[in-house]
Amino acid sequence: MEYISLGCDTLPVLKGRSPIQVYSDFMRSFRDTFRGFLGQTIREIQIGMGPGGELRYPSYVPDGLTRQFRGIGEFQCYDKYMSASLRACAEKVGKAEWGVGGPHDAGNYKQRPEETGFFKTNGSWNTPYGQFFLKWYSGMLVMHGEHISAAAERIFRSTGAKLSGKVGGIHWHYGTQSHSAELTAGYFNTSMNDGYLPIARMFGRHGMTLSCTCFEMTDAEQRKFDANCSPEGLLRQMTFAARKSHVPLAGENAVTTFDELSQNQIIKNFRLCLDDSLYKEAYELVCSFSFLRMSEQLFQRENWNRFVRFVRQMADGRTFHPRENNHHGAESNFQAQASIEEFGAATSCQ
């Protein structure tokens, strides 16, 4: 189990306390323990809201455990608490038969959309029942985010620390009508419905930054997986949702990479988000970028020199390709320190 059922958010299932109360107690303990650092050393707190800290259902198995992670996933609505919520919602709209359970034709984790009746092109996801179910399922996720965001806002108010929440980068099957993998993760995002705008607006209500991933990925590179992937399309849509909701956007790379092509893609996407000419209303959208991750490999000479150039490009907003230089130890140390300082200036919220 990766996460407690969203159906019991406010129910006293943990020795008389609800999950939201327990999460709130943890946040208060963090605030009280690090109060002297908040707003100064600790400038931003990312609030975990689901598996991997992301606001989503645990609908797919992480790729470290299986090679089949790019399947459609499965809906997470079969525990007694989610079932009770679905049943009550169905009865409220006068369709008690819709509350018996999740879609019977939604397949399993490893299948492709066209192998199922629910997710295939013009499948049952696009019927009155499918729309009802998806609205309820995604609504439960947004409500969960609302509960945690509201608690975090109350607890960390006046500390000086900014708050952020992370949305999963479910880019596989993005190029299909149903966006099946996103639907099972809780994002009611299809060719006919924007599933990220409600989430961005929810974050906006609580003054939070929307954090998203996939900045280093290209559609062309992902074609080898044959899963209708579009990380670039997904990022554009999230950027638009953040922009429309006046919510700051924070980015990160999805996988650890040190090659120049991936770093150039990050720079390209970072600048795309900064391009006010693409939007009717101008405001500073991107406030930070997190490079994942620090490791022994990062400090290998070739990788470190490439990373230094990447940081400088992010800092000064222009692309350049200087020749490789064989730095002496003292020069490398000075360059590293300067780059770290530049990186902080380039990637901190103003």
Spans of the chain, pLDDT less than 70: 1, 63-69, 273-287, 317-350
pLDDT at 157: 96
Output DSSP code: residue 69: T
Which of 74, 216, 232, 252 is the catalytic position?
252
SS3 134: helix
Residue 160 · residue 38 · CB < 8 Å: yes
DSSP, residue by residue, 69-138:
TTS-------SHHHHHHHHHHHHHTT-GGGGS-S-TT---TT--GGGSTTTSTT-GGGSHHHHHHHHHHH
Output DSSP code: residue 193: B
Which of 2, 44, 54, 232 is the catalytic position?
54
- What's the CATH number of domain 6-67+128-293, 3.40.50.12240, 3.40.50.10210, 3.30.70.1450, 3.20.20.80? 3.20.20.80
Pairing of strands 286-290, 209-212: unpaired
54 is catalytic: yes
pLDDT at 317: 58
SS3 260: helix
Predicted structure pTM score: 0.86
